[in-house]
Amino acid sequence: MVQNTRQSLFTSLDLGPMHLKHRVVMAPLTRSRSIQPDSVPGDLMRQYYEQRASDGGFIITEATNISLTSRGWLGAPGLYSDEQVQGWKTIVSAVQAKGGHMFAQLWHTGRASHVAMTGGAIPVSASVNPAYWEHPNHLVSIPGSWAQSSPHRALTVAEIAGIVQDYRRAAERAMDAGFEGVEIHAANGYLIDQFLQDGSNQRTDQYGGPIENRVRLLSEVVTAVASVCGADRVAVRIGPRGTWNGMSDSDPGALFSYVAAHLDHFGLAYLHLIEPRVGGSITTHPEQGAVAAEQLRPLFKGKLIAAGGFEPETAVAAVSSGLLDAVAFGRHFVSNPDLVHRIREGLPLAPADRDTFYTFDAKGYADYPAYQAAVAA
């Protein structure tokens, strides 16, 4: 029986073409388990996602590269080859067989990369910022080790058009794989975020300077992807006031207010926020409320999802109040494959082992037990 205090998370919700039976969403989680060297989703990834699928629930895939040169993380999967499409098709089918729904998150890492990951191509960004690759904490997972990011270069206007087409082609492949839609990753200091925030974007052309210019790449990507999927099968993830990967902006309130209001005109499936109380996989300000949702809820009239530092009780409060339409959980889904059941029944949640977040085998990935199995053990 659904506990009355948690009822709001277990009411139905329409997101674009999907009819969800509950509002507990699995957030995108980079886990490094694709088959190398070709970044193909394999059987281990299928097992992982299938374990976390629930009847009428919604899963957003881990960040998935749109091209070879967009890569910046060893083990992250792609959507730029036929073999990758076939791998994802098996995963999507397994999730749908359990009554679940799936969007693919499309990703270009931009300057947060290394030549060992891009096939030798120099990483690209909005502008050149040497302080980024010189920073000892801006590390990239590459074959055999962690390394500081490689020096990057600024994209030309002509190259930007090519990047937009890479997103469009990846969206086509996502639909071929059976996904019900795509989420565009525009947060966490990756390429689109590097264009949005003026700490990384010092361009003086039509993609730099005023906010409306810095939003141009995101707008063009959304338009291109929507031409493939339909706008109601497209979502965007942003990180208002996020500082991960060296990000900063001179007026983040104005920037992300503009972004939310601008995206409201597209008729998206949803807008996905990362609350700034988290940085990467770490909750840095657990006492902080859902400040991004509070700022942007009045500006985006469509469906709103947020992730970052939520517990079941705070998720209930956010949905009950109308602040959010659904809540995405990350670290809790890592260690609780049956998270939906545990939240519904008020069962204790298992802690995650951070040492296995970005490793390459089943340990800390597909070996977390469901609640009854854990109790029996």
Q: Please identify every residue annotated as catalytic.
A: 190
Q: How far is it, in rounded angstroms, from Cα 39 to Cα 33?
A: 9
Q: How far apart are CA 171 and CA 51, in angstroms?
A: 25
Q: What are phi and psi of 109, to 5 degrees?
A: -80, -20
Query: DSSP class of residue 205?
Result: S
Q: What are phi and psi of 326, to 5 degrees?
A: -160, 165
Q: Which residues, 6 or more positions from 37, have their beta carbon under 8 angstroms from its beta carbon?
A: none
H helix or E strand, kind and range, residue 255: helix 252-263
Provide the b/e sequence for 345-370 (b: ≥16 CB within 10 Å).
eebebbebeeebbbebeeebbbebbe
Q: Which residues make beta-bridge pairs with 18? A: 15
